[in-house]
């Protein structure tokens, strides 16, 4: 962002909008990295199990142990990804970061509803940003409270 734009923006934009945009973007990146790491670990360990099982070795015990370790890596990696919901978090954090950036740019450019609001543009920005943040918090809580789709699909229909 250039200095001219920064000087013209109210303190709310720097204090709240930019800070939240950066925070959400960083959290999105962190969760994306964990999601990809868990997926790669799951795939590699899973792919190595049949290779280890057909591996001609003098010691069958070693083959069994390696196969068991790789199976554990698959289970732990997939379980952690599901438990911590890295993919869901990544997508939610990225969406809010992009929405905050969009609102900031629309406000700075005085386009859309911000052009119409003119004198009340800052109030409109605050209302929209705080609404986005509140909505995201509610969505995050709902995502982490909701049972997994597998658990819901295995429940009896009458429940």
Contact call for residues 111 and 31 (beta carbons, < 8 A) = no
The 8-class DSSP code of residue 58 comes to S
CA distances to 137, 141, 143 from 130, rounded to whole Å, are 11, 17, 20
Closest of 38, 66, 40 to residue 51, by C-alpha: 66
Residue spans per domain, the chain: 11-148
pLDDT by position in tens, the chain (length 159): 444 444 467 889 989 999 999 999 999 999 999 999 999 999 999 999 999 988 867 788 989 999 999 999 999 999 999 999 999 999 999 999 999 999 999 999 999 999 998 889 999 999 999 999 999 889 888 888 866 555 455 454 444
């Amino acid at each position: 962002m250039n200095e001219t734009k920064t000087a013209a923006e109210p303190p709310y934009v720097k204090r709240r909008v930019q800070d939240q945009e950066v925070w959400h973007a960083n959290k999105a990146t962190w969760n994306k990295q964990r999601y990809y790491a868990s997926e790669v670990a799951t795939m590699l360990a899973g792919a190595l199990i049949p290779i280890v099982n057909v591996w001609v070795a003098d010691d069958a015990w070693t083959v069994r142990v390696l196969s068991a370790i790789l199976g554990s890596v698959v289970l732990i990696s997939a379980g952690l990804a599901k438990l911590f919901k890295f993919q869901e978090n990544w997508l939610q954090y990225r969406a809010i970061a992009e929405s905050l950036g969009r609102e900031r740019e629309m406000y700075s450019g005085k386009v859309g509803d911000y052009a119409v609001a003119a004198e009340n543009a800052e109030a409109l920005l605050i209302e929209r940003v705080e609404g986005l943040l509140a909505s995201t918090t509610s969505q995050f809580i709902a995502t982490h409270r909701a049972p997994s789709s597998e658990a819901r699909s295995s429940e009896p229909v009458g429940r």
